[in-house]
Amino acid sequence: MEAAFNAGDAAALASLYGDSAILMPPNEPMVRGRAEIQAWFERAFSRLRCVRIIVTESLREGDQAFQAGTFTSSATDASSSPAGAPGATAAGKYVLLLARQAGDWKIQYDIWNLDQPTG
């Protein structure tokens, strides 16, 4: 996921998701389905430059799994940055729920938020 994001490859990112996956970005409506998730990432690349993902926990139970962790990301311009400056880094946390489909693991639910005060 990190490599595809940092390469700006929305199609590769979308391929990690199941056909009916749900993306839950902060402060936005849910994004449903692989095609819409790909479109969301294509738009996000105009605001975000790179991400660093650190897995802190994962568990597999049969054909289902979850992964949780932290991330840092940087923005391409001040209006996209929580810190208000181009290239500023923001930290956050995420949870992925995955299912095995035809032998491959696919993300079914993806939710994250930033570690910053509201307001």
Count helices and strands in the chain by DSSP H and E runs = 3, 6
The domain containing residue 33 runs over which residues? 2-114
Give CA–CA dist 47/43, Å, rounded.
8
Could you tell me if residue 119 is inside a domain?
no
| Angle, vertex CA 111, rays to CA 69 and CA 92, nearest 5 | 45
Could you tell me if residue 54 is inside a domain?
yes
Domain count of the chain? 1
Give the CATH number of the domain where residue 20 resides. 3.10.450.50
Give CA–CA dist 42/27, Å, rounded.
18
User: Model confidence over 25-80: pLDDT tens digits?
Assistant: 999 999 999 999 999 999 999 888 799 999 999 999 999 999 999 999 987 654 44
Could you tell me if residue 68 is inside a domain?
yes
Give CA–CA dist 96/37, Å, rounded.
14
Could you tell me if residue 33 is inside a domain?
yes
pTM here is 0.86
